[in-house]
Amino acid sequence: MLTLKIPFQALVPAYYVCSVITVLLLMLMMVIHVFVLFGMILMSLEVFVLFVIPFIVIWVLALFVARLVSYEYRSRDFIYAMSRGCPRWLTRTAWILTAYAILNLVLFKYIEWRDPASQNELITLNHYRAVSSVAFPFLIWSLVMFVSAVRIAKNDPARRCANGHAVMPRAKFCEQCGVAIEDQLGSGRNGPDSTGD
């Protein structure tokens, strides 16, 4: 397992910058999506496609940050590990927007299947709605990773065994050394759990 350690305190300013950019992109996509729901298109398809570039950059950076904060955990625990520092309301919002994006994709395919010969304007609106909603989960989960990294850098809420290994919240034994876990939920390396916002 990769055990790359980078000083989180030194990277906190970068997390903040990425968080702001992600929020702005998410707000832009939401505005575009709302206008599309009312039958209006704010920009040409060519301009809209250009936003794929910052999406990819933000997503790659977010995955890199998530790997840094989850290197102590197994792959199956990745979602918990990378979001353990994030406020619960933001994590719940990420799941809601993910479900909404999936619903829009299903609706997109249903409209195409039901009326493949529909007018071009309706097809365009259908594509805009689907694509703009698909951007939601990528951006909101990127925000979750950046916010989590900021809070972990300041006060890691990870639960740990007596030997300092990170363990899952409900674990009774450490998977790395086998030591029994005392009832110390929220007793992270740097202080109490701060994710209950």
Closest CA to 142 of 2, 9, 5, 15: 15
Residues 60-84: tens digit of each pLDDT: 999 988 888 877 777 777 888 788 8
Residue type, 94: A
Task: Compute the radius of gyration of the chain from its Cα atoms.
Answer: 20
pLDDT over 90 percentage in the chain: 24
How many angstroms separate the CA atoms of 69 and 148, rounded?
Answer: 9
In a domain, 2, yes or no: no
The residues facing 166 across adjacent strands are: 160
The DSSP symbol for 166 reads: E
Residue type, 134: V
Give the global pTM.
Answer: 0.73
Determine the pLDDT at residue 68: 81
Average pLDDT on 175-188 reads 54
In a domain, 103, yes or no: yes
Structure tokens of 136? 């939601």
Determine the pLDDT at residue 39: 82
State the residue range of the domain holding 95: 8-157
Determine the pLDDT at residue 83: 83
Length of the chain: 197
**Where does the chain have alpha helices with state H?**
8-37, 45-50, 52-69, 78-83, 88-114, 120-154
In a domain, 51, yes or no: yes
In a domain, 77, yes or no: yes
In a domain, 18, yes or no: yes
How many angstroms separate the CA atoms of 41 and 126, rounded?
Answer: 11
Residues 108-121: tens digit of each pLDDT: 777 777 766 654 55
Determine the pLDDT at residue 176: 59
In a domain, 94, yes or no: yes
Overall number of domains in the chain: 1
In a domain, 111, yes or no: yes
Residues 6+ apart with CB under 8 A from 194: 85, 151, 155, 157
In a domain, 163, yes or no: no
Residues 157-180: tens digit of each pLDDT: 555 655 555 655 555 556 656 556
